[in-house]
Structure 1
Amino acid sequence: MLHIVKLAVGCRTLDELATRMRTHMVDGLGAVPTRMMPKKADEVLAGGSLYRVMDGMMLCRQEIVDLRAVTRGDGTSGTLILVRDGIVPITPRAMRPFQGWRYLKPEDAPPDLSHASDGTRGLETLPPRLRRELASLCLL
């Protein structure tokens, strides 16, 4: 199994991401466009999640359901990463900007806030802005 990390360009909060996902749906699933089809698609589809980076912080994940090859509006090929509706907050992690997406090994993935055992358990009840600030100060 492998996960994918991708920037959520233009989103600063989980609420903004949720709004965007409701407007970008295909077959009842959230659709995240990207240029390249993962070469390790089988590993990603074996239980991987899409981890989202917003404003320099990896903040959440969504379960990947499918990867679909598409033809984009300009005639070039592209890929839709189809994800389940639920956005799962994770233990925030700082991350530098990058283009496209990156693979993330399961052992390197930050834990969900609701399942964290590293002293961050219960932080899912804090406002996202406060979680982000604590993470930027290296307090999470």
Structure 2
Amino acid sequence: MALHLIKLCVGCESPEDLEEWIALRLEEKRRRDEPEEHYHVTRMVPKKIEEIIEGGSLYWVVKGMVQCRQRLVDIRPFVDGEGIQRCRLVLDPGVVRTEWQPRRAFQGWRYLKPDDAPADIRAGAGTAELPDHLRRELTELGLL
């Protein structure tokens, strides 16, 4: 069973913001004739790389709630220009909405066991059509 990562999505107000940012970055790469690959750079390198890339995802915490995920394609450690060890989390550019799950703020990324990961929202599911403020309130009350 694949292992996942979870991380705060700093600077995004919604999964739609994340999708727009990804599209912008990929368009910039196209214009510069660079490979159209989407990745997120982190300082710490996961030790369980094989478990993660065998179907794992990066779950994003947006505004205090896990709201979406992206499939992890690869994990590439590297040393930056200042000699600091870093890591590229290579992600599928598609953003998958998940059921909302409250999370407190934390630094960096954390491992997320499959049993603790929120379920994907199926297209046409009733909760997918709820306004964000109502979904947040119902989730905080433990009703979703």
Q: Which of the residues 103, 111, 129 maps onto 1:125? A: 129
Distance of 2:142 and 2:11 partners within structure 1: 24
Please tell me the residue identity of whatever aligns with 2:63: D
- 1:131 shift after superposition: 2.3
Gaps of 5+ in 2: 30-34
Q: Secondary structure of 2:143's partner?
A: coil
- 1:20 shift after superposition: 2.0
Q: Structure 1's 73 and 135: CA in aligned 2 closer, same or farther, altered over 3 A?
A: farther
1:81 alignment partner in structure 2 = 89
Q: Secondary structure of 1:134's partner?
A: helix
- 1:77 shift after superposition: 1.8
Residue correspondences, number: 135
Superposed CA offset, 1:40-85 (max 9, x none) = 0110011000000011111101100011123335441211111111
1:17 alignment partner in structure 2 = 18
Q: Structure 1's 124 and 29: CA in aligned 2 closer, same or farther, altered over 3 A?
A: farther
TM-score, normalising length: structure 2: 0.83
CA contact (8 A) 1:113 1:122 kept: no
Distance of 1:103 and 1:6 partners within structure 2: 9
Gaps of 5+ in 1: 116-120
TM-score, normalising length: structure 1: 0.85
- Counterparts of 1:1-140 in structure 2, within 5 Å, are 1-25=2-26, 27-114=35-122, 121-140=125-144
Please tell me the residue identity of whatever aligns with 1:11: C
Distance of 1:90 and 1:107 partners within structure 2: 14
Distance of 1:72 and 1:99 partners within structure 2: 20
- 1:129 shift after superposition: 4.1
- 1:23 shift after superposition: 3.6
Superposed CA offset, 1:13-36 (max 9, x none) = 011111222244573232111111
Q: Secondary structure of 2:122's partner?
A: helix
Distance of 1:50 and 1:32 partners within structure 2: 10
Please tell me the residue identity of whatever aligns with 2:51: E
Q: Structure 1's 129 and 82: CA in aligned 2 closer, same or farther, altered over 3 A?
A: farther
